[in-house]
Amino acid sequence: MHKVLLSALLLAISTLSITLISAGRVTAQTVPAQIDCRGALNPRLGVGVQGAVIPQPPIPLRVHSQPGANSPVVGQLAPGARFTVIGGPQCIAGSVWWQIQSDSGLSGWIAEGQADQGVYFVEPLSQITPIAGNANEGLVA
């Protein structure tokens, strides 16, 4: 019974947080999401990860109100613009979509890349985030 519940819980999690305990310091590392999105590039982002629009080619990235290229565009991120992933992933038409909040305050959904061209539009900037806590507390989610 416990194995069934654990399996269901693991399937429901789109990103994993792994806690590293070293010399009394607790940190969490966000692992790129595991999502079955046929035809998509392998995701490199995850919830809580900071990212940026790839600077070359110098093309702005559209931010949509919902995941999917057909949803309304709410703004654009310039090449090099930074953001934090706050939701997702969603698989729409062979692309992995992430809900983001940009450093400038723009929020919405972006595609991570385009598989048929083999191009990522964004890149992760950081994957390790300090978590306040005591090393004696065990795992921190």
pLDDT digits (tens, 9 = 90+) for 55-102: 998 999 999 999 999 999 999 999 999 999 999 999 999 999 999 999
Nearest alpha carbon to residue 115 among 32, 43, 15: 43
Q: Mean pLDDT over residues 9-37, rounded? A: 45
| Number of compact structural domains in the chain | 1
* Cα maximum dimension of the chain: 53
What's the pLDDT at 33? 58
Decide which of 40 and 27 is more confident: 40
DSSP 65: S
- CATH number, residue 125: 2.30.30.40
Average pLDDT value for residue range 23-47: 69
Predicted confidence at residue 126, as pLDDT, reads 75
Provide mean pLDDT across the span 27-48. Answer: 76
Q: What is the pTM of this model?
A: 0.69
Write out the residue range of the structural domain in which residue 111 sits.
2-137
Contact 126, 28 (CB under 8 A): no
Amino acid letter for position 13: I
Query: In this model, does residue 19 exceed pLDDT 90?
Result: no
28 alpha-carbon distance from chain centroid: 15
Question: Which secondary-structure segment (H or E) carries 111?
Answer: strand 107-111
